[in-house]
Amino acid sequence: MHGLSAKIKAIAADLGFAKCGIVAAERLDSESGCLREWLDRGCHGEMSWMGRPEQDRADPRTVMRDVRSVVVLATNYFTPHEHSDKHGQGKISRYAWGDDYHEVMRERMMALLGQIKVEAPNIGARICVDTAPIMEKAWAVRAGIGWIGKHSNLITKDVGSWVFLSELLLDVELEYDKEIVEDHCGTCTACLDACPTSAIVEPYVVDSRKCISYATIELRGESIPVEIAENLNGWLYGCDICQDVCPWNRFEKPTDDPRFEPRHGETSLPLESIDRMEHREYAERFRGSAMKRTKLSGLKRNAKYLKT
């Protein structure tokens, strides 16, 4: 079904995807070794689901038994707004400014699959949007979307690193992309030098236990480690420092999807408003937002540390 590959890419472009690559659904053996080493070092912190043995992230057949091809999509979410360093405000990571990317991307992926089924009605498929046990960045590299930078985020030559990744697993063989993008980080160490908690412990390796984003989103409990709490740099939810300083993000381009624009025009939130917020207001304010992941208790904890 080689002709279908070109049609898939054309449909993806029409739907607004920034990049599309297609590769054979093979086990990611070398990439799996890197993941295992990262897990063995404990760099995943309390994210225990990363190492579940029943979920072999290197094998796409864990997600879809009959998969033959992996279609990798990149969605540009950059909007030309800046973070505020105003006193009493807590900064929000750029990816969470707009509507929940899971929902936005799933809608796009459903539209993509719907149009593919017009061309191939009997095709079997599985949509993956962030939550499936699949090595998204590794597949993006294999599909020629970009390369993994020293900050461990995927970088594209076209729009930088402000991209969401998603995958469409299909049960048919297609025409596959062969070209892999070279690592263009070179001797640059901007992300390592800028990280206030030294979470990028060596090029391409982020220790979540030292990461501001991990501490303010994934870490549960009432406390944040002292070495992170003292270097929050105003971040209430997530952190964009390593991407903000990346030279490749000079190629960033505004997204064409208004759903990634900051909700209520906010790139930060008043800490006092978080202190006063009750659950009903929280549920309404963050309905349809990725920020609901940290729950109200997490936001209140983060705000407390920013005020001390």
Angle between helices 2-14 and 101-119 (to 10 degrees): 140
Report the C-alpha gap between 38 and 47 in whole angstroms. Answer: 12
Report the C-alpha gap between 206 and 201 in whole angstroms. Answer: 6
Report the C-alpha gap between 68 and 82 in whole angstroms. Answer: 42
Report the C-alpha gap between 13 and 115 in whole angstroms. Answer: 12
Q: Any idea which residue has 């070209």 for tokens?
A: 179
Report the C-alpha gap between 23 and 9 in whole angstroms. Answer: 13
- Output the CA–CA distances (angstroms, integers) from residue 115 to 10, 41, 86, in the order listed: 11, 44, 46
CA atoms within 13 A on the CB side of 41: 15
Query: Is there a contact between 225 and 302 (Cβ–Cβ < 8 Å)?
Result: no
Token pair for residue 33?
């070794």
* Residues that are catalytic: 130
